[in-house]
Structure 1
Amino acid sequence: MRILLTNDDGIHAPGLAVMEEIAAAFSDDVWVCAPAEEQSGMGHALTLSAPVRLRKHGERRFSVTGTPTDAVNLGLRKVMPQMPDVILSGVNRGANLGDDVTYSGTVSAAIEGALAGVRAIALSQVLTSDSRNGGTETFAAARAWGARVLGPLLDTPLPDRTLINVNFPPMAGDEVRGIRPTRQGFHDYARGSVVEGRDPRGRPYYWFGLEPIEQTLDHGTDLEAIDDGFVSVTPLHLDLTHYSSLGALADRYQQ
């Protein structure tokens, strides 16, 4: 099995090292093509206004001066001699739950793989409050449960343009209660906040993403599973069409 690894935290991120350990349980044909620097929150951005550089760090290990989407594109088109059997993106430092997946470079790298017709799985480690506040971060749940989660996913039939989003709860491996297939939840973004400050020259600046966002733990969602201590496994697909609205729109334009 040929595996391509990527992420949005960068080539030197500790979560990528964890991802390499997990991938080694399934194959010795593992390639890495990841951003040279952190690209969190870049979503599905593609670099169009500047050249992207490719750097080789070792056998089957490369970085790109661009986004996670750039990394997957160069990994597939320039780095690997043949298409991989699976793309694994992560392990991300922090959650990619609910509608946060639309911002996530980790999930977007998997999206790019799915668009290319490759089985793609995004993996993220939800952080403890101590890790979020600058304490020692831990990938304990991802280390303990990564291979157990991936095993069944590597040969589960998936429709075209479908990917899997995995999140590990913020706890020790022996505290995780199991694996739960889930649907995507939703955050209450209307209650979010923007932190304002001033730089040394007295000019205002604004910082996003520093405070937890309210969330509704609807039954069966990824948010609920993590809160209950389970690994969440969520199938996502790329057809964003809201089919039930098509009839109403057709009626409007026929008037």
Structure 2
Amino acid sequence: MNQSTRVLITNDDGIGSPGLHALAAAAVRAGLSVVVAAPASEASGSSSSITAVEEDGKITIEERELEDLDGVEAYAVHGAPAFITMIATHGAFGPPPDIVLSGVNRGANVGRAILHSGTVGAALTAGINDGRGMAVSLDTGMHPEKIHWDTAARLATGLLPFLMEQEAGSVLNLNVPNSAGPDLPEYRTATLTRFGIVQTTLAERGQQHVRLAIADTTETPDPDSDAALLAAGYATVTALQPVTGTALPSLDALPQAASQA
């Protein structure tokens, strides 16, 4: 990789997130060509939504200056992170990016519930547009005393040479323990656990409303899963596959079943 490797930095926490700034700064230190484009406001839980706020058919994109990132193009976009990634691949911010780095997200993105993550959605959108994507999340917990953004940012840029060696469309999900010290956490490949670290539950159902709550998962994760390895202090790396079709057991019975419907 060199300065010709173009990297888009985005997230779902918004343009003002310190995690976004840390990731952009790490990419600059790695000698990459960096452009930052992130939601103008928080877009957590937006998955791969390509929604945007339109006015007269136009989506507002505002130029921003990011502290300690002089010379780095930065934009606040009134749209979801997957939308930002999509328009970036079509040249909205200059040449299409070779890699999309999405994060650093405040909080882990593990398990099958990553389907709902805007951080992961942006990385997957890079993949379906024949780019390479990486979602980067820091396991901060609910009430951290200190957040070590730089730990996640350094581990993310450390994975970039590996990601660039993979075929176009490759997507990685990186989760990092919220730790600091001279030695960075070790990488471990991991499977997706069945459930995330926490689950959304239905706390109340009333007339014309529902109320949700967040609860810790009671299920014990598999030892080789992202949740288990992250809890053990490792930086977990999971390869994700953008949306593809899958084979049905047999199509022979479908026409007959359809005719009887």
Counterpart of 1:72 in structure 2 is 85
Q: Does the 8 Å CA contact 1:186/1:216 hold for their aligned counterparts? A: no
Please identify which structure carries the higher helix content: 1
Counterpart of 1:207 in structure 2 is 212
Shift of 1:42: 0.8
Counterpart of 1:2 in structure 2 is 6
Aligned-partner Cα distance in 2 for 1:195–1:137: 30
Q: Is 1:156 aligned to residue 168 of structure 2?
A: no
Aligned-partner Cα distance in 2 for 1:240–1:117: 13
Q: Does the 8 Å CA contact 1:124/1:166 hold for their aligned counterparts? A: yes
Q: What amino acid sits opposite 2:165 in the alignment?
A: T
Alignment of 1:69-218 (within 5 A): 69-131=82-144, 135-139=145-149, 141-153=151-163, 155-158=164-167, 160-174=168-182, 177-187=185-195, 192-196=200-204, 206-208=211-213, 210-218=214-222
Q: Does the 8 Å CA contact 1:6/1:16 hold for their aligned counterparts? A: yes
**Closer, same or farther: CA 195–47 of 1 in aligned 2, 3 Å:** same
Counterpart of 1:53 in structure 2 is 60
Aligned-partner Cα distance in 2 for 1:33–1:49: 15
Secondary structure at the counterpart of residue 174 of structure 2: strand
Tell me the TM-score normalised to structure 1 length.
Answer: 0.82
Q: Does the 8 Å CA contact 2:128/2:243 hold for their aligned counterparts? A: no
Aligned-partner Cα distance in 2 for 1:242–1:74: 28
Q: What amino acid sits opposite 1:137 in the alignment?
A: I
Question: Between the two proteins, what is the percent identity of the paired residues?
Answer: 27
Deviations 1:106-157 (A, max 9, x none): 01001111111111111111113532xxx5433253145333333433x322
Aligned-partner Cα distance in 1 for 2:238–2:252: 32
Aligned-partner Cα distance in 1 for 2:39–2:200: 29
Aligned-partner Cα distance in 2 for 1:188–1:60: 35
Aligned-partner Cα distance in 2 for 1:5–1:29: 11
Aligned-partner Cα distance in 2 for 1:113–1:35: 16
Secondary structure at the counterpart of residue 247 of structure 1: coil
Number of matched pairs:
243
Q: What amino acid sits opposite 2:111 in the alignment?
A: G
Aligned-partner Cα distance in 2 for 1:91–1:143: 7
Aligned-partner Cα distance in 2 for 1:128–1:173: 19
> Unaligned 5+ residue runs, structure 2?
66-71
Aligned residues: CA RMSD: 3.0
Secondary structure at the counterpart of residue 81 of structure 1: coil
Runs of 4+ in 1 over 6 A off after TM superposition: none
